[in-house]
Amino acid sequence: MNNKLFLLLTLIIVILVSAGGYFWWQKGIAGKKIVGSSVPNILFLTNPVTEFSGKVDKISDNSIFIAGKYSITPPPTPPNAPTNIPGSVITVQPLPPSKVFTYKVNIQPYTIINRPDSPVKYLIKKITPTPTPKLTIKDIKAGQMITVSTSNDLRTLKKEEFDAYSVKLPPIINTITGKIADINVKDGIIILKAVQPIRPGLNEPTPEKPKEVEYAISVVSDTEISRMGPTPAAAKATTTPKPTEPLEYKITDLKADMQITVYANQDVIENQKIKALLIEPPVDLVPASSTSPTTKPSVSPKP
């Protein structure tokens, strides 16, 4: 009788110890591997997540709300698995499922906000590099696609919020190509008809019919109008050709229906009244000086 009681007590103790050990493992050692997250779906990512890209939904005080879509990468096909057996029906694999995550991102005093440069390809003018102005949260706008870096692994967050170490904004789209609809030489205004560019990275469907808009382009005294001239022909077969030189034009050389490229001082997606920093005329533009020997040359090689 005593032996049966002893065995029963031993069995109960073993069960209790096993159950306690199991819960201790789940909440102790195993729990330290991945801290619980309020966004459990992000745990499907196997590598640390310290960078998050998405669209800015809204801005509130010193915080921005970003939504980003991530796809689950399907497992790779085994190297020995047949992919195209003769006579078999080829099955198209479905796209991997995606998940949308939304985070509140806090902009701290130490947060670095930057954006890629949008260079202007001057040929005549010499520009002295100037320090890039410091960007702030005021330069972030709803609808932008941005990338945020943080020192924390997003898989370990207790809530959908983190502090940003750096924020990368999209580049300014400052170039537009179109056809001159009208030109006012006296006032220095060019009306340009052009298809409005689409900002890259928005993951939105391309419109079936491109949107053509009119731009009012201001041409001022420091606007450069230039393009590279033709390659000079060598006098002899053994003579080294002279290097191609840039040609400078005037606004009077530009006419209606000409296609030009304009480098602006603003984002051409957000603004339709812009100042021209540089205008590239068409390659086949005939200089006014070539039509009349008494006319003052309107295009001159760079000295």
Residue 213 CB neighbours (<10 A): 14
Question: Strand 175-184 relative to strand 259-264: parallel, antiparallel, unpaired?
Answer: antiparallel
Whether the per-residue pLDDT at 299 is higher than 80: the answer is no
- pLDDT value, residue 216: 96
Q: Which stretch of 62-76, 115-129, 281-295 has the lowest confidence by average pLDDT?
A: 281-295
What share of the chain has pLDDT > 70, as a percent? 65
What are the tens digits of pLDDT across the range 200-259?
765 555 666 778 899 999 999 999 999 988 777 666 666 677 778 888 999 999 999 999
What whole-number distance in Å separates Cα of residue 122 and Cα of residue 170?
Answer: 23
pLDDT tens by residue, 26-72: 444 444 444 444 555 565 666 778 898 999 999 998 999 999 887 66
- Predicted confidence at residue 220, as pLDDT, reads 94
Q: Summarize the confidence of residues 276-289 as an average pLDDT.
A: 81
Whether 55 contacts 170, CB under 8 Å? no
Q: Residue 24: is its pLDDT beyond 60?
A: no
Instruction: Tell the burial category of 288 from Cβ atoms under 10 Å away from its Cβ (0-12, 13-18, 19+).
Output: middle
Residue 200 CB partners (closer than 8 Å, separation 6+): 170
pLDDT at 165: 94
Chain region(s) in the chain for CATH 2.40.50: 40-72+96-168
Q: What is the pLDDT of residues 168-177, one digit of tens each?
A: 999 999 999 9
| Greater pLDDT, 150 or 230 | 150
Weakest mean pLDDT among 14-28, 90-104, 157-171, 218-232: 14-28
Query: How many other β-carbons are positioned within 10 Å of the β-carbon of residue 127?
Result: 9
Closest CA to 52 of 171, 221, 168, 187: 168
Question: Tell me, what's the pLDDT at 45?
Answer: 63
Residue tagged 């005037």 (tokens)? 250
pLDDT tens track for 26-38: 444 444 444 444 5
Topology given in CATH for the domain delimited by 40-72+96-168: OB fold (Dihydrolipoamide Acetyltransferase, E2P) (2.40.50)
Residue 298 has pLDDT above 60, yes or no: no
Q: How far apart are CA 22 and CA 30, in angstroms?
A: 10
- Residue 25, pLDDT above cutoff 50: no
| Mean pLDDT for all residues in the chain | 77
